Structure 1
Amino acid sequence: MEETIPGTETAQIPQQRGTSLLETAVRYAEERHWDVVPGAWLEAADGVQRCSCGEPACAAPGAHPAHQDWAARATGSATVVRRLWQQQPTASVLLPTGRTFDAIEVPETAGFLALARMERMELTLGPVTLAPDRRMRFFVLPGAAGKVPGLVRGLGWSPRSLDLAVLGEGGYVAAPPTRVGTRGAVQWVCRPTVANRWLPDVEELVSPLAYACGRDR
C-alpha cells in the first residue's frame, strides 16, 4: 500500500490496499508517461531486512539502482515494465530525472514551509514526494539544473549557501510506494493528478523554495 501525507489531493493513480509495485510502476508508465526502472530490493536475512546489493552499510537499502547501466534500462513501455517487475516483484520503483521532469530537492521542514507559501501565492504544483531521509522532491519541467544557480543568485542567495539541489539528467527519484529499509516508504505529498499533469517551470517555484531554505538554515 502506498502511503500519502494526509490532506493531499485525490490521486489520479489509485493507491488501494494491496496495490503491488508492478501495478504502480505500470500506471506510472501508462498514465503519466514516465520512464521507470526497477532498482534494488529488500531481502530478509536472519530476520533482518537487507538490501539486495549486499552492502551492510547501504545508504538507501532497497531504493537505489541495481545496475550500473540502470539509465539505459529505464523504459516507458508498460509491456516491458510489466515483464521487468514480474522478474523481480519487490524491486524498488525508480524514476529517472532529466527526461519528462527534473526534481528540486529540499529538506522536509523547508519543503512544507515552501508549500504553505506556494498555496498563498496560488501556484500550480506538480507531484511532490517525501522520502524517509526527510527530503522533499518537487517535480518540475526538465532543464531546471541549468537554470537554478542563476535564479538563486538573482534572488540574492549564493547557491552553495542553500540546502537546495536539482536532480536532472543522470539522476533519479525513488517513487512511492518504494520502501527504504526499515525507515519507511516514500510518500506523495502532492499526488499525481489530472490537474498537475502539466508541470511547472522551476522559475515559478524557485523563489518560495529558496526563501524556505534560507529560513531553514
Structure 2
Amino acid sequence: MDNTIAVPKRLGGGGRLLDEAVRYAEEQHWEVLAGAWLEPGPEGTSACSCASPACPAPGAHPAGPEWAAEVCCGTAAVRRAWGRHPRASLLLPTGRTFDAIEVPESAGFHALARLERMGLPTSPAISSPARRMAFLVLLGAGAKTAALLDRMGWPTASLGLTVRGPGEWVVAPPTRVQGGCAQWARHPCSTDPWLPDCEEVLGPLAYACGREASDARSASAGHRPKAAGSRERTVARAGAGKTVGAGTAVGAGTAGRVRTAAG
C-alpha cells in the first residue's frame, strides 16, 4: 500500500516551529518534544521521516522509542533539539505538564461556544486535520473522567471522548501532518498559563459529544435530530435526574472506562 501523501511543495517552516516551541516553553512553561516529520518525495508527495511504509501517523509521532528522555524542559534544550532536526514536528507530551481531553472536532466547537455562553472557564484547544479537538486540562483527568461521566449519566463508550495522559502526546500548532496543519481552536493566554481542571469543562464536552452521537443515530435511522436541550427535558420528565452545573443531565447511568488513545 502506498502511504505517501500529497503536500505543498514547501515543507519548510522549521524556523516557525522552533519559534513556537520556544514560545510554549517560555510563556506557558510547557514541555515540548521534537518529533518525526514529513520528508519530501517525488511529484509533490511526502512520507514520514521514520521511513516505515505502514506509518499510521506520518509526521505526528515521536522520533524514537526512547522519546521520553528527549522531552525539552527549557528554551536552551528546545533550541538544541530543533538545531539537530529543523523540520521536526512539534509535539506536546501529556501526563507531564497537563492532560488532554480529545473529542470530535464539531463537538469541540459546540462545547467552546457553550462554555462561552455560560461564562465558564475555557481551555486551550487544538484542532487537528483528523477532525479531532484536544482540550488541555490539569493533570489527573484520566483518573477522574470515567467516574465523572458516570455521575453525569453519560454512557462513556458512545461519546467518542478520550483522555491523553502519561506516555502520550498531542500534535501542536503549527505542525504539518497528513491532511494539513494542527491549529489552535482556542489559543492559550500568553500572559497566564492557567489551565482548567477536567471537571470544569467535562460537562459541556460530554453534552456536545452526546448530542452529536444522538444526532448521528437519528440521521442514520431517518429521524430528525432532537432540538438543543431536549436531553435535559427528557431526563427531567422521567424523574431520572436533574440538570446541574454546565447544563449536563445527571441521573442513572452506566460506568464507562475512558479509552486512552495509543497516539
Q: TM range, normalised to the smaller chain? A: 0.7 to 0.9
Percent identity between matched residues is 56
Offset, 1:57: 3.6
* Paired residues, number: 200
Of structures 1 and 2, the one with the larger relative CO (CA 8 A, separation 6+) is: 1
- 199 and 24 in structure 1: CA distance in 2 versus 1, 3 angstrom threshold: same
Offset, 1:196: 5.3
Offset, 1:58: 2.3
Which one of 197, 208, 213 corresponds to residue 204 of structure 2?
A: 208
Looking at structure 2, the residues matched to 191 and 84 of structure 1 have their Cα atoms a distance apart, in angstroms, of 24
Residue pairs, 1:20-169, within 5 angstroms: 20-47=16-43, 48-169=45-166
- Off by >4 Å, runs of 4+ in structure 1: none
- 147 and 211 in structure 1: CA distance in 2 versus 1, 3 angstrom threshold: same
Given the two structures, how large is their TM-score scaled by the length of structure 1? Answer: 0.88
Offset, 1:200: 0.6
Looking at structure 1, the residues matched to 184 and 173 of structure 2 have their Cα atoms a distance apart, in angstroms, of 7
Given the two structures, how large is their TM-score scaled by the length of structure 2? Answer: 0.73
Paired position in structure 2 for 1:12 = none
Deviations 1:1-55 (A, max 9, x none): xxxxxxxxxxxxxxxx995211111111111111111000111121311110112
Looking at structure 2, the residues matched to 98 and 166 of structure 1 have their Cα atoms a distance apart, in angstroms, of 10
8 Å contact from structure 2 (residues 121, 201) kept in 1: no
Letter of the 1:82 counterpart: R
Unaligned segments of structure 2, at least 5 residues = 1-12, 214-263
8 Å contact from structure 1 (residues 126, 199) kept in 2: yes
2:56 alignment partner, SS class = coil
2:22 alignment partner, SS class = helix
8 Å contact from structure 2 (residues 31, 72) kept in 1: yes
Larger radius of gyration: 2
1:136 alignment partner, SS class = strand
- Greater fraction of residues in helix: 2
1:20 alignment partner, SS class = helix
Letter of the 2:152 counterpart: L
8 Å contact from structure 1 (residues 124, 196) kept in 2: no
8 Å contact from structure 2 (residues 60, 171) kept in 1: yes
